[in-house]
Each structure stands twice: as C-alpha cells, then as structure tokens.
Amino acid sequence: MKKFLSRFLGPGALSFPTWGYMVFFFAIPVAMVIWYSFGFKPDQFTTHSMEQLSFDRYAEAVGPTFLSVFTATLRISIVGTIACLLISVPFAYWLAVKVPPKRRGLLLALVLVPFWTNFLVRTLGWQIILSPDGFVSEAMQSMGLLAVPLDLLYSRAAVQIGVIYNYLPLMILPLFVAMDSAGAALREASSDLGAGKFKTFFHVTLPLAAPGVISGCLLVFIPLTGDYITASVLGGANGTMIGQLVANQFQNAQNWALGSAMAVVLMLFTLGVVLIAALLGLALRATIHRVGRVQVRPGPGRSTALTNPVAGASADPAAERGQPLAVGARTAGPPNSEAPPPAGTPSPAAKNPGGHRG
C-alpha cells in the first residue's frame, strides 16, 4: 500500500491535472463525436438517434458538396500556410539575427498584439477594410488605380487575406525561436570559411531552423482547416470552408450525425497531415545528423594526418607519403632547425662538463 501511494503521489502526480484536462475536454468529446457519427436523424425535430448504427452518414459526408467545399478549404489552407511561411521566414531571421536583443522584446510584443483582441473582432475589422467603401478601395481610387470601388468582401480572396492575418503570428514565433537557438557561432564559422550570406542562410541557418518550420506549418495548417469564423465573416456564400459546413449541420440543420461524420473525416485528414509531418521531421533529422557527421576515410597508401589549411599540404611529409613515423622522429619544422643527434652520441654538455671551451 505504501509503495502504491508513493508511486501515486510521486513526481508523476504533477501531470494529473494535465491528463485530466486532456481526458475530459479532448478525449471524451472526440469519442462522443465519433459515436454520434454512426447514428442518424429520425425526424425534423430530433437532432440524432442511436437506435440503428451504420456508416451511412459517412457516405453522405463525402458527397459532391462536401468534396467541393473540402477542395476549396484545402486550397485556402495550403496557400495560407505557404504565404505565412514566406512572410515569416525573412521576418524571423531579421528578428533573430539583425535586431539587437534589447529591442526584440518590443517587436515580439507587437507580433502578439493581434492575440490581445478577440478573434471575431479582428476579423470584423477586415470586413470594414475590404468593403467597397473601405480603406483599400478608397486609397486605390484616390491614387487613380481604380475607377470604380473595389469589392473584395464576401469572396475567397477576402478569406485568404483574413486567414493569413489571423494565423501569421503562429508561424513567426516558432521560426524565431528556432533561428535564435541556432546561435551566431555557426554563422560566423560559415562566413570565415568563405560562404556568403545567402549560402550561409540556406546551408546553415535554414536547416537548423527546420523543426521550427515544421512546427509553424502545423500550428497554422491544422486550425486553418477547421476555421469557420473567417469564412463566415469575410467569405459569405462564396468562401465556404469545411468548418463552416460542419458548424451549419450542428447549428442550423440540427443533424448531429451528419455533422459528426464530417468532423471525423476532417480529423482523419488532419491526423494524416500530422503523421506526414512527423515522418518528414524524422527524415530531415536523420539527414542533418548524417551530413553533420565527419568521417575520415584514408585512401590506399595515405594516412589520416591533418592538413594545413593555409599551405594545403600535410603537416608531416612522411605521413603524406604513407610511411610510418619512427619513434622519436620530429615532424617537419622550420628550414634552419637542426636534426637531433643519433642515439648513443654524448651531448655537448657531457663532453665538456666544466662548460669551458676546449
């Protein structure tokens, strides 16, 4: 009993709140969604029924409408993730390498400013900007670029702009952490060895920041595929995403079984993306580890003597010719250095103990 209590109340007990949160607010809701996906909607006034379990809702979920919306969602998610990556990489590099440490805190706070406001509020702000009477349209008309008002609202372009704005900080932060943890020593070593700035970035900094790239892409892509607020506010009927379709089944159609089946399909797709990203991460890690290892494999007739990086010649001519060094032999030295006397020859001090000239 004491052993059980010691294990139960040991250091592992500190993780119980986290496990409890994951079980009650993640595992149980997901299990309920999966369970409801096997039911059906019996009538207009009932949300679901579990009397007859079947896979019919999955057949309805992957119908033409779902596949069309799913394709549009996938396109918006991929374009949004790539756009966030292209914007975040130079900014994170500049923030981690060029900006002094005293100013990084202020800039990171500015990056996090959008998260201090509600997701819906900042999305509604873009509705004002992208409207025909908004800032973008009036600015382009005042510069003579447009003769008529620009109407970007309620389109897929508006949804694309909104998701990039909402999820950009989730890409910047892991990239900044990865590039900042790489350190300046490797970049300085690459520069000392003759590599330029671009070569150092693509061959040193970016490979070391690859875990941050993968983490940022997952942090952006996964919630973006299930986003429905941005699509509802900025896209309307022309920018429907899969998250909006699932929410519509639960809220408006009151068909919990079909909505659950759509949600399960979306979760399976997201799980597949995570597994692919994990495999890519393992492959990238193995590649970096293999490239980073230095193996000295001398060829036939050659030794593993170090090479003088300045002269480009071996530090030992005998080793360069593949001949073994004799015990007590000296390596190549300055031209005027004297060779050591043969073994058994008395030293000058032994010949003249008094130290006087003969």
**What DSSP string runs through 168-237?**
HHHHHHHHHHHHHHH-SHHHHHHHHTT--HHHHIIIIIHHHTHHHHHHHHHHHHHHHHT--HHIIIIITT
14-59 pLDDT per residue, tens: 788 888 999 999 999 999 999 999 998 888 888 888 888 889 999 9
CA 165 to mean position of chain CA atoms: 18
Cα–Cα distance measured from residue 263 to residue 133, given in angstroms and rounded to the nearest whole number: 37
Give ∠ CA 270-274-280 in degrees, rounded to 5: 145
* 286: Cβ contacts below 8 Å, ≥ 6 apart: none
Cα–Cα distance measured from residue 175 to residue 248, given in angstroms and rounded to the nearest whole number: 35
Please, which pLDDT band fits residue 170 given cuts at 50, 70 and 90?
very high
Six token digits for residue 291? 């490239």
* 282: Cβ contacts below 8 Å, ≥ 6 apart: none
Q: Is the pLDDT of residue 1 over 80?
A: no
Q: Is the pLDDT of residue 355 over 80?
A: no
Mean pLDDT of the region 279-297: 65
Cα–Cα distance measured from residue 257 to residue 32, given in angstroms and rounded to the nearest whole number: 11
**Which phi-psi region, left, alpha or beta, contains residue 183 (left: φ > 0; alpha: ψ -120 to 50)?**
left
Position 172 scores a pLDDT of 94
Domains of the chain: 25-119+151-292 (1.10.3720.10)
Mean pLDDT of the region 103-128: 88
Among 100-114, 163-177, 262-276, 338-352, where is mean pLDDT lowest?
Answer: 338-352
Cα–Cα distance measured from residue 222 to residue 272, given in angstroms and rounded to the nearest whole number: 11
Best-predicted range by mean pLDDT (104-113, 178-187, 298-307, 336-345)? 104-113
Q: Percentage of the chain surpassing pLDDT 70?
A: 77
Among 133-137, 309-313, 350-354, where is mean pLDDT lowest?
Answer: 309-313
- The model's pTM is 0.73
